Structures are given as structure tokens and as C-alpha cells.
Amino acid sequence: MSQQHPVRSTASPPSRPDASMSLLTNVMDHSLDDGYAEAAARRSAGSGKGLPKTLRAKLGLAAGLVLAAAVVTVGAAQAQISAPAIAKERQELIDRIEAENSSVDSLQKSVDRLRDDVGDRQREALLKHGGEKGRQLGLLAAATPVHGPGVKLVVNDAKKAESSGGGPRESSGFSDTGRVRDRDLQRVVNGLWESGAEAIAVNGQRLTALSAIRAAGDAILVDNKPLVPPYTVLAVGDGQRLATTFQDSADGQYLHVLQENYGIRTSISAQEEVRLPAAPSLIVRYAEPVAGGAGRSADDTGKGTS
């Protein structure tokens, strides 16, 4: 009779009804207190290794501030120590500059006196040895002061003149900013010469046959001397006739256009008497006095006069 062995069941144990909710089960089985406990344990373990990071940062910042204060203190102390020496050197430099400026001013005054003396001697020689012809040449060369009837012409910038800008006059090298340009003053002077002026001065600067009116930036130079507006032009001649002839000329109309279109201010009036000084830097290039030759001509002496 055969022995029967018991049959073992291979069926799997019944699953938990909440197996499909493992995440919720894990949360319920392991509360958040475990995480807090673990973090507290780590902090406790690290407390024995050194200072907290916040405290170390504060100590580092304090050390940096102390070092910066030390550097500033040392620098201030050094500056205070060297301040007297620097002040002394600065004062010595100022005194030297002032002394040199005084010396230059004194030399310039001496040069001006000598130039005036030379000019007076040249004019005397020109009149003495040239006779009536010398007087005429002296007048034409602006070697002598003159006075007589004439005109007074004042040219000034516009009220709202600017130092730079462009406009219709830009193509000619001069912008319509309301400022009087050297080209404008050149046309005014040439127009007066053509209208019959015998002698002309601009802001007290007597013009000669060699005078130049040019620009240096926004400034106008007459014989390398800067002028400032308003520009007062005095001309010796038949006053009323000279004024009328100039205003009717092309240059007078040009000045009128500047007034109408660009706001440049102008005025002209006849004067019973105007006085013009002699040119400050007359140079006699060819004439020279000849003993006993007051009545001799340039052909006799072989020399001319300019």
C-alpha cells in the first residue's frame, strides 16, 4: 500500500489590501520626525569640528574691516607727515610762476616802449626827408595818426549767437550761427575802401596795406591781435557820402543780408570827426634817410619807399 505524502500549497500569501498605496504607507510608517532627528544628529556631530559658518563669516568680515581701517590709518598718517613738504613745494612753484610772469610783463612793457620809440623815429624821418610826399606816404602807410570827418560802423553778433553750427553759409566755410566771421569783417573793410575811405581802424587797430583779417577758432584777428565784439569800424572820409555809397554797394547789401537773415546787428552813422591812431608796428622796408636829400626823388637815390 503506497504512502501518500501531503501536498504543499504553492499559492502566494494573500496581499495586503493597501499594497497599491506604498507611498502613503511609507509616509504613515515613517513620520517626518525621523528626518528632523537625523538633521539634528548631523548638526550635533558637526558642532565639535569648528565654528558655525555664520560665525566664521562674521569673524572674517570683522578682520577685513580691521585691516582696511589699519591701511587707511597708515595712509592718513603718511599723508599728514608729507603734507608740509608738498605745501612748501607748491608754494615755491607758485612764487616762481608769479616771479616769471612779472618778469615777462616787465619785458613786454619795455618792448612796447622801444617799439613806440622806433615808430616815432621812423615817422619823423619819413616826414623830414620825404616832404609833402612823405606826408602822403605816411598817411597811406598808416604811419601817422589822422582825424577828420568819416563814418562809424558797428557790427555785432546776434543776441542768441552760438559758438558753432551749420547752415547756408557753411558751404563757404562760415556757419550761420549769428556770429560775425572774419570773412564778414573783410567784406565790410574792403567795401569801405572801395567807397572812398582814406583810413580805417577796427576796434582801435589801424589798418595798413599789409594788414590781415583772419580767424583763429571763433576769434577774429587783425594783424594777429584778437578782437572781441562788437566790432567798431571807424573810417575817415566824406562822412555822409561815404556812408551812403557803402550802403548802396555790394558789400553794404551783403551786410544788410546778414542783418536780415542771421540776426547780426549793424549800425552806421556819419561822424563830424573821427580820430584814428597810427599803426603800432610800422616797418619801413625800403626807405632810408639820405643826408641833404630832402628834395631828391627815388630815381636820384636809387631807393623807393613803401
Q: Where are the domains of the chain?
A: 58-144, 146-276
More confident site: 1 or 203 = 203
Residue 236 · residue 147 · CB < 8 Å: yes
pLDDT of residue 145: 83
Residue 222's DSSP bridge partners are 213, 225
Mean pLDDT of all residues belonging to the chain: 76
Supply the pTM of this predicted model.
0.52
Find out if CATH 3.30.70.1880 is the number for domain 146-276.
yes
Q: Give residue-wise pLDDT tens across range 271-294.
A: 999 999 888 766 656 656 666 654
Average pLDDT over residues 166-188: 69
Note the pLDDT tens digit of each residue in 96-153. Answer: 999 999 899 999 889 888 877 877 787 677 667 666 666 666 677 777 788 899 999 9
pLDDT at 2: 46
Give per-residue pLDDT as tens, 30-85.
Answer: 555 666 666 666 666 555 455 566 777 777 888 888 888 888 888 877 777 777 77
CA distance 243 to 274: 14
